[in-house]
Structures are given as structure tokens and as C-alpha cells.
């Protein structure tokens, strides 16, 4: 059993001893600490906290513990129950709430669950805020409300439709163009909340025919829930069988979007953001942001519009911070996470789908033809395992010095930008491992440059 405490929240497996997983006792402790943090820092006067969950088997149990703890701390809880991560973020904003908690372990398997913590803007806590919650939890520095000050639970099942309507009302979403294209769309919602929102969204956008895979939200995931090519063979086959024009795959909490071409080939998660940004920039030129490990293709597309691209440290909260600093019109992460500020500052697959379908309808291309219009890049992901006594920071400093003649970024590990490729080295926070991401115009080149860095690191350690 595993419990992982981090600045972005707490996640763990269900079952086992109190400190070995995401037990009810652990949930109470961390939710209590979060409530103290919110009470101290919020500027909202509503006394509300929004709680939403994905369709995991453990979701109802975890939710009941969270609701009881928050009301015990004196907060009123808006319980939106089964909801996507972006829907919960949207609800926090609409309710003018003090914060929100999303009960989801994202792409992790069914035995996992997690508490993802939001501020009053419906955004994830930053590193300093997350660290304060962890400190409060460790110290058990909280006290509960007296009987006359207990909070109440406010059930609200309207936010799925409100979120869909907000997407439909975005200026760059063209429902008429989408309806006119007569798209045949396949979806794989991996038995979670995507299954209850994506069909409604697609029909509202004017899609005439939908082919559904794993849309029953029972949480017993039919395949590994991370939307990677090796897990998406069913929808790839369905695309050809159903003669669908495009396929969409989401993870259990619907903040990541993978796209499938009409021929069953992967569009590429890295290119979800690239394609959506291409469309947004064509209508509203401006700056873009992605993280350091995302494809250079976004930079290339941004520059083609005469606009500025910036890279942020890995992590949604870091991307959002950089987007605000640079007034970016679009941004996100290369894992299929689209962040569109005209909607809200959070990764949102619903927004991604609506903008992508508009783009596809206006381009009058097949999905594979559209994919071919973007710069071809390939990303390799490797790692080098070190012994616990190795000073990883010292190794990264040596690598930085050795490649000082190139463009180096060190806000999150060490990224080396070569003229035609890049390598990004990041240390694990939990293991003596350096993860090595590399990108080039062919997979062979990407793997080779990553392999060269692995050898350099090994030589340094010998």
C-alpha cells in the first residue's frame, strides 16, 4: 500500500494500515489541514467549498469522509458528486467558493484515489501553499467547529450542464461549422466521468453520430486509464470499423485529451495542444506557454504567427503562473492538457474537444492531413537509476557546466536546447532517479541524444 504526500495534494492506494494508504484517517487529517489553510487565506465570504469526484470505486467512501470532515470544520460543502476536474474548477469560480477538493487519482489505476486541492480561483495550490497544508497536517494543527457552527451539505447536480454551456458560449467555438461537417466521432471514456459528459457535449456541439467505448461510469476501468497509444488499441480499431472521422480519449478526470486519426493512428498527445493553439492563434494572436518537457512544435507554431512562446517548470500550477505572467492566450502541457484562459485556468478536455472540432471543421481536412501540417517531432522518455548515496543535484550541475555553450534552462532540472533537438533532465522527488526526456525530428535521434546523456551521467558517477 502507498501514500504519497506532495505539495499538489495527497494520493494513495485504498486499503491497509492507516499510514500505508489513503485511509479514512489520512483523509480526515489532510482535509482538516486544508480547511485550516483555506480559513486562514481565503478572501471569499461564502464559506463554501466545492467537492467533485471521478467515478472510482472508492469515490463514494472517500467523498463521505471528506464531506463529514469539511462540515465538521465549519464549512458548507457544495457536493457536485460525479464531475470532471475542470467542472469542479469551474464550479468553484461560479460559486465564489473558498476553494475546492477534487477526488481523483487522474490517470492512476483503480486502486488509487487522491485529494486535489484548489484555491478560491479554482486553481491548484502552489508549492508554498501546498507545503503549508502538509505542515498543518503533520502538526495536526486544527480544531473542529462546535455544534452550533457545523457546516451543511448542499447537493448540486447542475454543473455538468453549466460547464457544457460555458464551452458552447466560447467565442471561438463554432457550433454551426461543427454541425455542418457531419462528423462521426468515437470516444473512449475509460469508465469514468467522461462517459456522462462527453456524449452530451458532442451532441450539443452538433455531432450527429457518436461511437462509444467504456462510457459506463462504474470505475472498474476496462484498460489502463492513462491515455497512451499502447492502451488505446480498441478505439484505434473502432475508428476504421465505424469509419469515424475523429476519436477522442480522456483520462478518468477528463483534464487530458488524446486524439485519434480517422485511420486509427495516434494524433499524438503532444499535438493536442499544438493543434488547438494553432486554431486559437489564427483567430486571437498572442503568447503561448507549455512546460519544459513538452514538444518544440508549439514554439514553432507560435513563432509562425509572430508571437512569443515561453516554457514553464513541469506542473499545471507552474504553467498557469507563467501564462498569467506573459498574458498567454493559450497554453498547457504536452500530455494532452489544454488550458484556455477565455474559459478558465485549468486543463480542460471539454474545451479542447470543442476548439479542435471547430478547427477541423474550418480546415476541411481529415485528422491525419491536419496532423501532417505540423512540424514532425518525436519525444523519447528514458531514465537513469542511481545509488541512494549519489548527489543528484551535483550531477545536474556538472551536466549544466559541460553543456554551457548551449541554451540552458535550469528552473526545473536542466534542459539543454540544441539547434535541432533538446534534452531535459529532471530528478525524481521520491527515488534516486534522473528522468531524461529528449526530442528530435526522428525517434532514433531523440533516443540517441538521451542515451548520450545517460552515458555521461554514468561516467560522472563511476
* 252-297 pLDDT, tens digit each: 999 999 999 999 999 999 999 999 999 999 999 999 999 999 999 9
User: Tens digit of pLDDT for each residue in 388-397?
Assistant: 888 889 999 9
Confidence of residue 462 (pLDDT cuts 50, 70, 90): confident
Burial class (CB in 10 A: 0-12, 13-18, 19+), 366: middle
* Percent of the residues in the chain that have a pLDDT greater than 90, as a whole number: 91
DSSP code at position 145? P
Whole-angstrom CA distances from 417 to 59, 375, 405, 421 are: 43, 17, 10, 6
Interacting residues of 265 by C-beta distance below 8 A, sequence separation 6+: 236, 368
Q: What is the mean pLDDT of the chain?
A: 95
Give the pLDDT score at 1: 59
Burial class (CB in 10 A: 0-12, 13-18, 19+), 444: exposed
User: Tens digit of pLDDT for each residue in 332-351?
Assistant: 999 999 999 999 999 999 99
Check whether 320 has a pLDDT greater than 90. Answer: yes
In what order do the strands lie in the sheet containing 414-417?
378-385, 433-440, 422-427, 414-417, 407-409
The bridge status of strand 288-291 relative to strand 330-333 is: parallel
User: Tens digit of pLDDT for each residue in 82-140?
Assistant: 999 999 999 999 999 999 999 999 999 999 999 999 999 999 999 999 999 999 999 99
Interatomic CA distance for residues 153 and 76, integer angstroms: 6
Interacting residues of 169 by C-beta distance below 8 A, sequence separation 6+: none
Check whether 6 has a pLDDT greater than 80. Answer: no
Q: What is the dihedral of CA 354, 225, 85, 325, to 10 degrees?
A: -80
Give the pLDDT score at 369: 98
Confidence of residue 228 (pLDDT cuts 50, 70, 90): confident
Interatomic CA distance for residues 243 and 17, integer angstroms: 50
Handedness of CA 59, 63, 64, 65 (dihedral sign): positive
Interatomic CA distance for residues 406 and 402, integer angstroms: 9
The x, y and z cell numbers of residue 375, run together, are 512540424
Q: Which of 8, 23, 58, 106 is catalytic?
A: 106
Does an H or E element contain 279, and which? helix 269-283
For cell 457550433, the residue is: 175
The x, y and z cell numbers of residue 340, run together, are 484556455
Respond yes or no: is residue 304 known to be catalytic.
Answer: no
∠ CA 111-81-151, rounded to 5°: 110
Give the pLDDT score at 7: 65
The bridge status of strand 3-6 relative to strand 48-53 is: unpaired
Cα radius of gyration rounded to whole Å, the chain: 22
Amino acid at each position: 500500500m502507498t501514500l504519497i504526500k506532495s505539495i499538489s495534494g495527497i494520493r494513495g492506494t485504498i486499503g491497509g494500515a492507516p499510514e500505508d494508504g489513503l485511509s479514512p484517517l489520512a483523509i480526515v487529517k489532510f482535509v482538516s489541514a486544508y480547511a485550516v489553510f483555506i480559513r486562514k487565506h481565503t478572501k471569499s465570504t461564502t464559506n463554501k467549498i466545492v467537492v467533485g469526484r471521478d467515478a472510482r470505486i472508492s469515490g463514494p467512501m472517500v467523498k463521505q469522509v471528506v464531506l463529514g470532515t469539511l462540515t465538521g470544520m465549519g464549512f458548507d460543502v457544495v457536493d457536485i458528486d460525479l464531475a470532471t476536474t475542470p467542472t469542479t474548477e469551474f464550479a468553484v469560480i461560479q460559486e465564489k467558493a473558498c476553494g475546492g477538493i477534487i477526488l481523483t487519482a487522474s490517470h492512476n489505476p483503480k486502486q488509487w484515489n487522491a485529494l486535489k486541492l484548489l484555491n478560491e480561483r479554482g486553481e491548484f495550490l502552489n508549492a508554498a501553499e501546498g507545503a503549508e497544508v502538509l505542515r498543518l497536517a503533520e502538526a495536526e494543527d486544527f480544531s473542529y467547529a462546535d455544534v452550533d457552527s457545523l457546516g451543511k451539505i448542499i447537493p448540486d447536480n447542475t454543473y455538468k450542464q453549466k460547464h457544457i454551456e460555458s464551452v458552447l458560449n466560447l467565442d471561438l467555438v463554432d457550433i454551426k461549422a461543427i454541425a455542418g461537417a457531419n462528423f462521426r466521432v468515437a470516444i473512449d471514456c475509460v469508465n469514468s466521468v467522461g462517459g456522462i459528459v462527453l456524449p452530451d457535449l458532442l451532441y450539443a456541439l452538433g455531432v450527429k453520430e457518436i461511437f462509444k467505448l467504456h462510457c459506463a461510469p462504474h470505475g472498474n476501468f476496462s484498460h489502463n486509464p492513462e491515455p497512451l497509444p499502447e492502451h488505446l488499441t480498441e478505439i484505434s480499431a473502432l475508428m476504421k470499423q465505424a469509419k469515424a472521422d475523429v476519436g477522442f480519449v480522456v483520462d478518468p478526470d477528463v483534464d487530458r485529451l488524446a486524439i485519434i486519426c480517422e485511420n486509427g493512428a495516434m494524433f499524438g498527445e503532444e499535438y493536442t495542444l499544438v493543434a488547438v493553439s494553432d486554431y486559437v492563434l489564427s483567430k486571437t494572436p498572442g503568447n503561448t506557454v507549455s512546460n519544459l518537457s513538452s514538444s518544440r512544435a508549439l514554439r514553432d507554431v507560435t513563432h509562425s504567427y509572430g508571437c512569443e512562446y515561453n516554457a514553464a517548470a513541469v506542473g499545471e500550477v507552474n504553467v498557469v503562473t507563467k501564462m498569467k505572467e506573459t498574458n498567454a492566450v493559450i497554453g498547457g502541457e504536452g500530455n494532452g492538457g489544454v488550458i484556455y484562459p477565455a474559459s478558465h485556468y485549468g486543463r480542460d478536455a471539454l474545451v479542447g474537444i470543442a476548439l479542435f472540432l471547430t478547427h477541423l471543421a474550418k480546415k476541411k481536412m481529415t485528422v491525419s492531413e491536419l496532423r501532417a501540417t505540423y512540424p514532425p517531432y518525436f519525444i523519447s522518455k528514458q531514465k537513469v537509476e542511481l545509488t541512494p548515496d549519489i548527489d543528484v543535484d551535483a550531477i545536474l550541475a556538472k551536466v549544466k557546466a559541460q553543456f554551457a555553450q548551449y541554451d540552458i534552462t535550469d528552473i526545473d532540472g536542466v534542459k539543454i536546447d540544441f539547434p535541432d533537438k533538446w534534452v531535459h533532465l529532471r530528478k525524481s522527488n521520491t527515488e534516486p532517479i534522473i528522468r531524461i526526456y529528449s526530442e528530435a525530428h526522428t525517434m532514433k535521434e531523440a533516443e540517441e541524444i538521451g542515451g548520450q546523456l545517460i552515458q555521461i551521467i554514468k561516467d560522472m558517477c563511476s
